[in-house]
Amino acid sequence: MPTTKQDLSSLTKLGRYSKPSRTLEVFPSHGVKSMEVTLHCNEFTCVCPLTGQPDFATIDITYVPNKFIVESKSMKLYLETYRNVGIFHEHLAVDIGKDFLKFVKPKSVSVTVRFNVRGGIAIDAVWRS
């Protein structure tokens, strides 16, 4: 089934200039019972909450849609809001996961944050609903 105009009707960021925000837009899922979606972001940045030093990470969000699919540009803009935010890696996984549940309402979601080595240690954190 092709994407319909009704599928696009609630999207306000796609195809337009939009500022980063902590909101996610969705469109209807056409494959509710048989789909898993994974989003990969390999250019994520935030800063250490104590030192302000930059942190770089890869983020994978894997979910089973219920009624909605997240619109990818809104996800990109959402992640961009963390660029200058001081946050521990483990807190980031939780925050993204809870916001994803709030806006997308999937059947399940897993958020994996894989931070680059800093100070000799790389940190991965996984949050699941």
Domain boundaries, the chain: 24-128
Active site residues: 48, 55
* CATH class given for the domain over 24-128: alpha beta
What pTM did the predictor assign?
A: 0.91
- Under a CB-based contact definition with an 8 Å cutoff, are residues 78 and 128 in contact? no
Task: Please report where in the chains the tokens 């030192």 appear, as a residue.
Answer: 51
Report CA-CA distances (Å) from 64 to 11, 76, 78, 86. Answer: 21, 19, 20, 30
pLDDT at 90: 96
pLDDT at 67: 93
Ranges under pLDDT 70 in the chain: 32
Give 65-90 pLDDT, tens digit per residue. Answer: 999 999 999 999 999 999 999 999 99
For 44, other C-beta atoms within 10 Å of its C-beta total: 20
pLDDT at 32: 63
Report CA-CA distances (Å) from 4 to 28, 65, 81, 108, 119. Answer: 10, 18, 30, 26, 50
List of residues 6+ apart from 1 with CB closer than 8 A: 30
pLDDT at 20: 92
pLDDT at 49: 94
